[in-house]
């Protein structure tokens, strides 16, 4: 079990290092369609014809939620970085769990 955990930790560290070199961004990209403020617009009629689609990047920074509207070109350019950021977050959680198991095993704490 320890050898398997060590191999897993090494795989996680290697992938994290590769992702960090390529660059990453926090948050998510969401495609939205919206209604405008004009009452006579088709977006308020039946059937609805909403405006968009628009791409929004949102993330937390210094405890506050930030949202930015992106052009299609910006979305294409940033999409891979946001996906790498998400993967880094997943790997970090996996690394934490593996390290906790390793320390608990090494200290004889029963897990």
pLDDT digits (tens, 9 = 90+) for 58-100: 999 999 999 999 999 999 999 999 999 999 999 999 999 988 9
Q: What is this structure's pTM? A: 0.76
Taking each continuous run of H as one helix and of E as one strand, the counts in the chain are 2, 3
Which CA distances in Å does 7 have to 12, 14, 21, 80, 84? 9, 11, 22, 27, 22
Instruction: At 76, list the tokens.
Output: 């294409």
Cis peptide before 47 (omega within 30 of 0): yes
Range of the domain at 66: 2-107
- Apex CA 66: angle with CA 63 and CA 72, to 5°? 150
Count of domains in the chain? Answer: 1
């Amino acid at each position: 079990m320890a050898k398997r955990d060590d191999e897993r930790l090494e795989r996680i560290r290697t992938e994290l290092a590769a992702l960090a070199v390529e660059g990453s961004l926090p948050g998510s990209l969401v495609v939205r369609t919206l209604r405008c403020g004009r009452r006579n617009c088709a977006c308020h009629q039946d059937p609805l014809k909403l405006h968009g689609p628009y791409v929004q990047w949102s993330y937390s920074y210094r405890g506050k939620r930030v949202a930015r509207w992106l052009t299609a070109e910006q979305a294409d350019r940033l999409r891979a970085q946001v996906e790498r950021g998400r993967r880094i977050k997943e790997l970090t959680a996996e690394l934490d769990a593996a390290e906790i198991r390793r320390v608990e095993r090494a200290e004889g704490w029963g897990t």
